[in-house]
Amino acid sequence: MNPDIAIPVREPAQTGRDDTILPFEVNALDLRGRIVRLGPAVDTILTCHDYPLPVAKLLGEAIVLTVMLGSALKFEGRFILQTQSDGPVRMLVVDFVSPSKVRACARFDAERVAAAIAANAAAPGKLLGHGHLAMTIDQGLDMSRYQGLVPLEGGDLEQAAHEYFSRSEQIPTRVRLAVAEEFRAGENGAHRRWRAGGILLQFLPKSFERARQADLDPGDAPPGVEPHALPEDDAWVEGRSLVATVGDVELIDPELSSERLAYNLFHEHGVRVFRTATVEAQCSCSRQNVEAMLRSFSQDDRDDMVEDGKITVTCEFCSSTYEFAPEDVFVPEDVAAMAALSQRADS
Ligand SMILES: [Zn+2]
């Protein structure tokens, strides 16, 4: 061993930790990646919503993908993943606030979802249908917002992620996502818990040439022209082939630590792990924010919201309920007029 390099070498951890993100790299192959393992965080969100099973599973996959990408932010900010599509699941929203908070919800057509389940056509791509997936990075007030868009064309979220990294970032990338319910016998009968996991692998060679990928078929080539055949780099072919062997069970198995999974995949080349990050299910809604939102509405809109003498707002993410007396959020007319004027001046 080279005495100049003071990187400690040890066995992979035997016990896994839930709700963690483990970054790793395989220098010999120019690969970098992250392994996400979710227990209570994903269970809290999915149990609270109690969506039909395939919708819960799909939202779970979106949560894993969001945690995987959002936890890579190097600054304080928000990473928002949102789908909008014409399938039975119209919208998924996952909101990650750095360094560690995640919340999520879905909007769907219950009848169409039930019909899809009955017809055995509730695979993720079928539930989403056609539309787009947007990934937004928001660094807060007065800071730039960055948005990446990728079309959804009947495929699942793994495919959408590959498409995004290939077209927008031009980084060869593979993503695997897995979500399942675990059944456990407990004192009060069987207990169900959601678990989820995923792995992201990216090829980041020092020379850009090596990261070039063949055009996605049919590419930009005019009809009749053979697509550009570019041989893929051997290191990347090996990396993506190894990730393709990872099964769903390995991604969610509480008995298999993330370090052990990384080791099993890449030990031949040497794999280096970095500090583990943690994630928790936590909503960012508050009475103050809801009040501010109500005050931004017109008096007519607020009047329409009054039921039994009060305005009730339920958070779509965490189901928290906030109640206001109409006079609590009353905005005097001249103040409202000034607010409208300043809005006009802004736009
Ligand atoms: Zn909330």
Count CB neighbours of 286 within 10 A: 12
Q: How far is the CA of 318 from the centre of ligand 1 (A)?
A: 4
Which of 304, 195, 169, 172 lies closest to 241, judged by CA? 172
Instruction: List the single range of 4-18, 93-107, 154-168, 261-275 with lowest mean pLDDT.
Output: 4-18
Retrieve residue 345's tokens: 């001046």
Instruction: Kindly report which listed range (30-34, 223-227, 281-285, 328-332) carries the lowest average pLDDT score.
Output: 223-227
Q: Residue 10: pLDDT band by 50, 70, 90 thresholds?
A: confident
Cα 52 from Cα 122, distance rounded (Å): 10
pLDDT of residue 312: 94
Residue 329 has a pLDDT of 87
Is 0.85 topped by the overall pTM? yes
| Residue 286 CA to ligand 1 centre (angstroms) | 7
Ligand 1 centre to CA of 294 (Å) is: 15
How much distance in Å is there from the Cα of 71 to the middle of ligand 1? 21
Distance (Å) from CA 316 to ligand 1 centroid:
7
Q: What is the band of 62 on the pLDDT scale with cuts at 50, 70, 90?
A: very high
Tell me how far the alpha carbon of residue 229 lies from the centroid of ligand 1, in angstroms: 49
Per-residue model confidence (pLDDT) at position 339: 62
Q: Is there a contact between 135 and 81 (Cβ–Cβ < 8 Å)?
A: yes
Q: What is the pLDDT of residues 196-218, one digit of tens each?
A: 999 999 999 987 677 776 555 55
Predicted pLDDT of residue 40: 97
What's residue 336's pLDDT?
A: 62
- What is the reported pLDDT for 196? 98
With CA atoms as reference, report the closest residue to 230 among 220, 244, 216: 216
Q: Which amino acid is at 129?
A: G
Q: Are 325 and 310 in contact (CB under 8 A)?
A: yes
DSSP H or E segment with residue 205: none
Q: How remote is the CA of residue 47 from the centroid of ligand 1, in Å?
A: 14
Q: Which two tokens stand for residue 14?
A: 């035997």
As a whole number of angstroms, the distance between CA 60 and CA 43 comes to 9
How far apart CA 114 and CA 25 sit, in angstroms, is 43
Q: How many residues does the chain have?
A: 347
Residue ranges with strand state E in the chain? 20-26, 31-38, 78-85, 89-97, 101-108, 130-138, 145-153, 173-186, 189-203, 272-273, 277-278, 280-281, 306-307, 310-314, 321-324
Residue 75: per-residue pLDDT? 81
Digit-coded pLDDT (tens) for 149-178: 999 999 999 999 999 998 888 899 999 999
Residue 340 pLDDT exceeds 80? no
- Note the pLDDT tens digit of each residue in 294-334: 999 988 999 999 999 999 999 999 999 999 998 888 877 66
Say if CB 139 and CB 77 are below 8 A apart.
Answer: yes
CA of 248 to the centre of ligand 1 (A): 30
